[in-house]
Structure 1
Amino acid sequence: MAYSLKQLNDAIRSDPAAYAAECDAAFAKKVEAAARKIADHRGQSHIILLSGPSGSGKTTTAMKIEEELERQGIVTHTISMDNYFNTVDPETAPRNREGAIDFESPFCLDVDLLNRHFSMLDRGELIHVPKYEFARQMRSDIMSQPLRLGTNELAIFEGIHALNDIIVGKNPHAFKLYIAARSNLVDDEGTVVFQHAWLRLCRRIVRDHKFRGSDARFTLKMWPNVRRGEKLYISPYKENADLMFDSALAFEFALLKPIVVPLLEELPRGKYDVAEEMLRGFERIEPMEETCVAPESLAREFIGGSAYDYR
């Protein structure tokens, strides 16, 4: 799918808040449709596996699906698969070609424990969901939370590796959902003005800046490794999904412009080709103020001001 640059700019000039609300309503319909499919599937498994690349909006989407299922009377629990990371051991941790620890690898996860917990939950047995402490790069069993699913309860496990064969292969009946920002912004000639991968990168730049105090250089230095991990460990498995949908919101190109452009302009000119390309794309896009975006919008996962806490 592609969004029209002209339609975007016309909408931002006329009534940006109404346009943002329209885009959010369309996304809400996707969530509602996904929840219906998941509800219809619960006789086969109590487990939902939700995957997508970095900056795709997995956290917000998982929570919105949970809320929609709750409205249908189905008690739902959302668990981040990050909690199943192994405690970092330099001797056994997977490494990339340069010899550094490969934090993008699915083998950083305790896959055996995950698969065992999925089976136990489907049988109605009690598990203890671990808690990963990123500051100490270790998993804490002391901080674990008990979870047992009733006959009409579901569990959403969200993470970048949720659809990997090492997980799906042991859980073929789980409902599998893939989410990613998949739409480009194009002009009247069909020329791409802003790529969907840039949208995800901008989401990351803004989130890293607002929630971690990082500059754009920090995100851009990490981005090539993130993309390498996506191509190796995420994209090849998206076809495992029972349902795929696009998380790109048309108004985001305008919303992110006044936040991202100053951060990109602080970078040394000519050092990051992708930054130069994004700046050229933003030149053609009308800016939009954050005040036009509702607190419950998916976009709030990246710019802040949401009921959800991503920090």
Structure 2
Amino acid sequence: MPYQLSDINRGLETDPKGFLEQCDAAYQSRIDAAVDRILERMKVSPIVLLSGPSGSGKTTTALKLEQELERRGVNTHTISMDNYFKTLNRKTAPRTPEGDIDFESPTLLDMELLDDTFTKLSRGDWVIVPKFEFARQMRNDSRGTPLKLDKNEIAIFEGIHALNDDIFGRHPEATGLYISARSNVLEGEEMRFKGTWMRITRRAVRDYNFRGTDLLETLMMWYNVRRGEKMYISPFKNRANIIIDSSLPYEPAVFANYADVLGKAVDQVPGDNPRYKEFHDLVDSFRYFAPLDPALVPGESLIREFIGGGSYHYS
């Protein structure tokens, strides 16, 4: 459901703290409803497969699900599927039409190991969760972590390809969960901020703040990221048992603080880039929002995954 710009600006003007609490409470209610469904299906499978495109807030959502499940007495393990990447072989790696390595392709994952892991965990056997070292682009199995699920335990596997045919397709008994920023901001019927823009802004700000990635580099990658989403992620979202909208009404006002630095990066994007106009429209859209002091954002807010200063630990 779209948000109305007037409601956002009024809430931030009259009672910013209360408005943020209201928005975060609404998101928590989505988490609570998802946990209800996960527990309903726990007898079918102890495996939860959480998918969503880049910038959707998968990591924080997985941690919030774990927190709520633990509160209800269910021991929960959250595992990043990034650890199941195969050691990169540049000679055999999948390529984009431009000839670059297609880092969005699910074939970079060790599907056989994932299949074996889900099967063993479901029947109560021990597995070793591997460790992928991104700096060396290789999997280091010697740093793996042993894991076994008892009767009242759940494992959440979080990754962009979790609902793919070669993962969820082999284990349809698992609980599938899809998350993305799905709500636009409208002024009447006029589009003011797209849900997709929330995701590119989240990713750009996070990479800029914490991953040493130049903003221009992030923007230049976005075309291939979106192409990968349309090929490898979106086609499988409707098989999810649970769909969560991760957008928060106040986040464009938080990211308005980055409008100037984003604008400078956008000015460097070549005019022939397929996303050129979209980037300029995105930066221009921040004029509809008065910047919100990030210090007002609660520590447990999903947005903290991207701006920092949150109460969750991101490994």
User: 1:128 is paired with a residue of what secondary structure?
Assistant: strand
Q: Please state whether the residue corresponding to 2:82 is helix, strand or coil.
A: helix
Distance 2:266 2:175 in 1: 43
Write out aligned runs for 1:169-184 (5 A).
169-184=169-184
1:221 aligns with 2:225: no
Question: Separation in 1 of the partners of 2:155 and 2:135?
Answer: 26
**TM-score normalised by L of structure 1:** 0.97
User: Which ranges of structure 2 fall in alignment gaps of 5 or more residues?
Assistant: 271-275
Q: CA deviation at 1:269?
A: 6.3
Contact 1:57 1:298 in 2 (8 A): yes
CA–CA distance in structure 1, aligned partners of residues 23 and 288 of structure 2: 20
Q: Cα distance 1:135–1:280, how it changes in 2: closer, same or farther (>3 A)? A: same
Give deviations 1:117-151, integer Å, cap 9, x for gaps.
Answer: 00000010000000000000000101000000001
1:299-310 to structure 2, matched below 5 A, reads 299-310=303-314
8 Å CA contact retained: 2:254, 2:294: yes
Identify the residue that residue 14 of structure 1 maps to in structure 2.
Answer: 14
Aligned to 2:249: 250
Q: Which moved more, 1:85-94 or 1:178-187?
A: 85-94
Deviation at 1:194, TM superposition (A): 0.8
1:104 maps onto 2:88 in alignment: no
Greater than 6 Å deviation, 4+ residue runs? none
Q: Is the 8 A contact 2:51 2:162 kept in 1?
A: yes
User: Match for residue 295 of structure 2?
Assistant: 291
User: Partner residue of 2:145?
Assistant: 145
Find out whether 1:191 has 2:195 as its counterpart: no
Show the counterpart of 2:233. 234
Do the aligned partners of 2:3 and 2:249 also contact (CA within 8 Å) in 1? yes
SS at match of 1:201: helix
The letter for the 1-side match of 2:162 is A
- Which residue identity does 2:114 align to in structure 1? L
* Counterpart residue identity of residue 242, structure 2: L
CA distance in 1, matches of 2:259, 2:175: 36
The total of aligned residue pairs comes to 310
8 Å contact from structure 1 (residues 120, 127) kept in 2: yes
Tell me how far 1:255 sits from its aligned partner.
0.8
Moved more, 269-278 or 26-35: 269-278
Quote the Cα distance in structure 2 between the aligned partners of 1:33 and 1:269: 43
**Worse overlay, 125-134 or 29-38:** 29-38
Cα distance change on mapping 1:13 and 1:241 into 2, 3 Å: same
On the 8 A contact 1:205/1:260 being kept in 2, the answer is no
**TM-score, normalising length from structure 2?**
0.95
1:5-36 residue CA offsets vs partner (Å, 9 max, x unmatched): 01111111112121111100010111011111
Partner letter of residue 281 of structure 2? Answer: E
Give yes or no for the alignment of 1:61 onto 2:65.
Answer: no
- Residue identity over aligned pairs, in percent, reads 50
* Cα offset, 1:259, TM superposition: 2.1
Contact 1:215/1:263 (8 A) holds in 2: no
What is the alpha-carbon distance in structure 2 between the residues aligned to residue 20 and residue 176 of structure 1? 29
Deviation at 1:310, TM superposition (A): 3.5
1:280 counterpart = 2:284: yes
Letter in 1 for 2:284: R
Q: Which runs of 5+ in 1 are unaligned?
A: none
SS state of the match for residue 43, structure 1?
coil
Cα distance in 2 for partners of 1:206, 1:260 equals 10
Name the CA distance, whole Å, in 1 between partners of 2:47 and 2:263. Answer: 41
Checking the alignment, whether the CA contact within 8 Å between 2:259 and 2:286 is kept in structure 1 is: no
Paired residues of 1:52 and 1:178 also in contact (CA < 8 A): yes
CA distance in 1, matches of 2:247, 2:6: 17
Give the SS at the match of 2:140.
strand
Q: In the TM superposition, what are the counterparts of 1:249-268 in structure 2 within 5 Å? A: 249-268=248-267
How big is the alpha-carbon RMSD for the aligned residues of Structure 1 and Structure 2? 1.3
1:23 equivalent in alignment to 2:44 = no
Residue 109 of structure 1 and its aligned partner are, at CA, apart by 0.1
Counterparts of 2:285 and 2:31 in 1: how far apart (Å)?
Answer: 30
- 1:281 is paired with a residue whose SS is helix
Q: Is the 8 A contact 1:178 1:238 kept in 2?
A: yes
Distance in 1, Cα, partners of 2:43 & 2:177? 17
Q: Does 1:115 align with 2:115?
A: yes
Which whole-Å CA distance do the structure 2 matches of 1:270 and 1:90 have between them?
28
3-state SS in 2 of match to 1:92: coil
8 Å contact from structure 1 (residues 202, 260) kept in 2: no
* Whole-angstrom CA distance in 2 between matches of 1:136 and 1:14: 50
